[in-house]
């Protein structure tokens, strides 16, 4: 068995942002292959009866989360600005990340979308915002956007979200390490350790 860590993330998810910023470095340092797995939390939340983020439904928990994010990003030396809109719809970015999985530019794209949402307060649901991220990366933005909106691409993200659900994923970020599920940015180290121990 190879050392593979699956990183399940949602572009609207706050705690996925610090993970996206640091996971590649940690995985590479441990000789671990990282598999980026975008999915949508919306359908999974709706199944639990939530039509909004639980951080909005339960304001006390939400207030805590924003403060916790500030502290966490400060400790990791990461820029952070509470977005003026939350959660933002990451559908378009998730379709791109899902359809173009394995592309060399994917990790940079993912990090740039998180930066747009949680550092620059940009609306990542807006195709122009996503387009300019791709252009800044010297990528053919309109081709990529078109491909991501293709029915096959849409179906791929739906299937990946369905797979998340069948794995027992209920939040983001989540990690799958040698069949073991971990949830939360604060479990990233535990997931990496698990993989190192289980896969010799």
Residues of this chain that interact with its own copies (CB under 8 A) are 48, 58, 60-61, 63-64, 67-68, 71, 75, 168, 170-171, 180-184, 186-187, 190, 194
Q: 50 or 105, CB closer to its own copies? A: 50
The Cα–Cα gap between 156 and 86 comes to 25
**Nearest distance in Å: CB 113, its own copies:** 26
Minimum CB distance to its own copies, residue 63 (Å)? 6
Nearest to its own copies of 49, 102 (CB atom): 49
Contact yes or no for 124/117 (Cβ under 8 A): yes
Q: How far is the CB of 92 from its own copies (least distance, A)?
A: 27
Residue 64 C-beta: closest distance to its own copies, Å? 6
Whichever of 109 and 194 has its CB closer to its own copies, that residue is: 194
Q: Which is nearer to its own copies, 111 or 165 (CB)?
A: 165
| Smaller CB separation from its own copies, 2 or 166 | 166
CB of 5 to its own copies, least distance (A): 16
């Amino acid at each position: 068995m190879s050392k593979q860590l699956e990183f399940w993330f949602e572009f609207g998810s706050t705690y996925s942002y610090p993970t996206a910023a640091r996971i590649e470095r940690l995985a590479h340092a441990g000789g671990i292959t990282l598999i980026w797995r975008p999915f949508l939390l919306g359908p999974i939340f709706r199944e639990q009866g939530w039509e909004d983020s639980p951080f909005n439904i339960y304001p006390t928990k939400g207030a805590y989360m924003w403060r916790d994010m500030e502290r966490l990003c400060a400790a990791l030396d990461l820029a952070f600005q509470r977005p003026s809109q939350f959660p933002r719809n990451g559908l378009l970015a998730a379709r791109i990340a899902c359809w173009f999985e394995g592309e060399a530019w994917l990790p940079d794209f993912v990090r740039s979308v998180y930066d747009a949402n949680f550092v620059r307060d940009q609306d990542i649901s807006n195709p122009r915002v996503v387009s300019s991220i791709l252009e800044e990366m010297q990528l053919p933005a309109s081709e990529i956007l078109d491909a991501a909106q293709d029915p096959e691409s849409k179906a791929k993200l739906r299937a990946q979200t369905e797979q998340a659900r069948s794995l027992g994923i209920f939040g983001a970020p989540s990690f799958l390490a040698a069949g073991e599920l971990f949830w939360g940015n604060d479990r990233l180290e535990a997931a990496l350790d698990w993989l190192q121990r289980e896969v010799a």
